[in-house]
Amino acid sequence: MSNQMEMAAQENKMGVMPINKLLLNMSLPMMVSMLVQALYNIVDSIFVAKLSENALTAVSLAFPIQTLLIAFGTGMGVGVNSLLSKQLGEKDLKQVSRTAMNGIFLAALNFVVFVIVGIVCVRPFYASQVRDADPEILTMGVQYLRIVCICSFGLYAQLIFEKLLQSTGKTLYSMITQVVGAGLNIILDPILIFGLFGMPRLGVAGAAIATVIGQIVGGTIGLFFNLRVNREITLSLKGFRPDVNTIANIYKVGVPSIIMQAIGSVMTYGMNMILITFSATATAVFGVYFKLQSFFFMPVFGLNNGLIPIVAYNYGAGRRSRVIKAIKCSLVYAFALLLAGFVVFETIPGVLLGMFEASEEMLAIGVPALHIIGVHFLVAWFCIIAGSVFQALGNGVYSLVVSVARQLVVLLPVAFLLAQLGGLHAVWWAFPIAEVMSGCASALFMIRINKKVISGIPDNV
């Protein structure tokens, strides 16, 4: 009975609280935690860059596999989050805990897969990119990425337990898990990289160890919060069996998200292959760009994490006006965040690169690169929110189509062509070109989903 009362309270929050207040209530903790996560990514690279430009390049080249590793966790988490929120809106209490336990089971399977990747695939992956570059990059890169993959159980625990907290509206606890994990990571980075306070100097391996320790601590805290305060979900291994139907429903939404992020991995790998033909410094610039843009994009992703359960819940509860208002508010906030990113990239690119011990060559390549790539911020805000709406309404395939078209059909071929015709400076224009295409496709799908889904949602009081 007490569980049902708590469920009703959660329903009142998701279904009754004014949308703007609800969106901020749900999103701000996650936006803060995402900002901390972005800050960690930047600080991590800043410390590595102090070792050498080769060390920065080695860590930058790990990005495709790291993206893939995260893609499996966050994609599965999106599926769990969307399904749980919809079940809460429909008052399908029986399925809620079953979905949660199956999500944890899938997180464990993801970890096993990447242990194998870490043992078998890391060296050939680096060798295919480094080729004639300094062999030190290969050595440091393999060392870094193996640790990250083989110890990824902390990452997968953190991701699934955060999503369980988010799906029931407990975003403050989700924020705490991320802030503590990322904060510990930042503290340990210089200690383990440079050997402070009597610790051995571990270089890039120290950065990897700091990362996985932060993830393990974050995952442990997430589990604790789910067991102690997330009363809507019961976690128990007693009598648990993987449920095919539940897993299928999780991946109905989750697979498109996984593939979208995996496509991002393919894109970064392809861009590294294009850029390494010019110089290792060009790939380092590309890696630095991804770190810097995360400071503006990660809060938008935090906004998305608040938007998805709100839209999914009110979709399940049949409250169309609340779905529409949540989408509109999110578009406004996303635009403001990425407009700020555009202004920063256009006005102080040299200052941004200077944080990474940029050489003269790196500045010569990086300043015009950030100027050009920054243009795509002016379109990306709409594409990101649209993709989250598609996922929340069970149409993740739309996001998949847009992502495939943007990154594989347009961005990589255009980057390759521009590299041949205009050299390194021209390559960066592939990003705004691809984003404009993505914006057009997202707008068409939004019109379609409004006609096919949103307009058909009843507007229950």
Give the pLDDT score at 89. Answer: 67
Mean pLDDT of 351-376: 92
Give the pLDDT score at 258. Answer: 81
CA–CA separation, 55 vs 345, rounded Å? 24
Say if CB 135 and CB 280 are below 8 A apart: no
Say if CB 366 and CB 412 are below 8 A apart: no
Is pLDDT of 265 > 70?
A: yes
Give the pLDDT score at 317. Answer: 80
Helix (H) or strand (E) holding 405: none
Give the pLDDT score at 49. Answer: 87
CA–CA separation, 410 vs 403, rounded Å? 10
Residue position matching structure tokens 């990003």: 431
Q: What is the pLDDT of residues 201-220, one digit of tens each?
A: 999 999 999 999 999 999 99
Tokens of 258: 């996984």
Q: What is the pLDDT of residues 269-303, one digit of tens each?
A: 899 889 988 988 898 899 889 888 888 988 888 88
CA–CA separation, 10 vs 455, rounded Å? 26
Give the pLDDT score at 358. Answer: 84
Give the pLDDT score at 10. Answer: 44
Tokens of 209: 């160890």
Q: What is the pLDDT of residues 302-331, one digit of tens each?
A: 888 788 888 888 888 888 888 889 999 999
Q: What is the DSSP letter of 278?
A: T
Mean pLDDT of 329-335: 94
Mean pLDDT of 425-447: 94
Q: How confident is the model at residue 132 (pLDDT cuts 50, 70, 90)?
A: low
CA–CA separation, 57 vs 285, rounded Å? 9
C-alpha of 450 from chain center: 26
Tokens of 110: 């993801």
Mean pLDDT of 237-258: 81
- β-sheet bridge partners, residue 319: 459
CA angle 365, 369, 374 (to 5 degrees): 160
Taking all residues of the chain, what is their mean pLDDT, rounded to a whole number?
A: 86
Q: How confident is the model at residue 9 (pLDDT cuts 50, 70, 90)?
A: very low
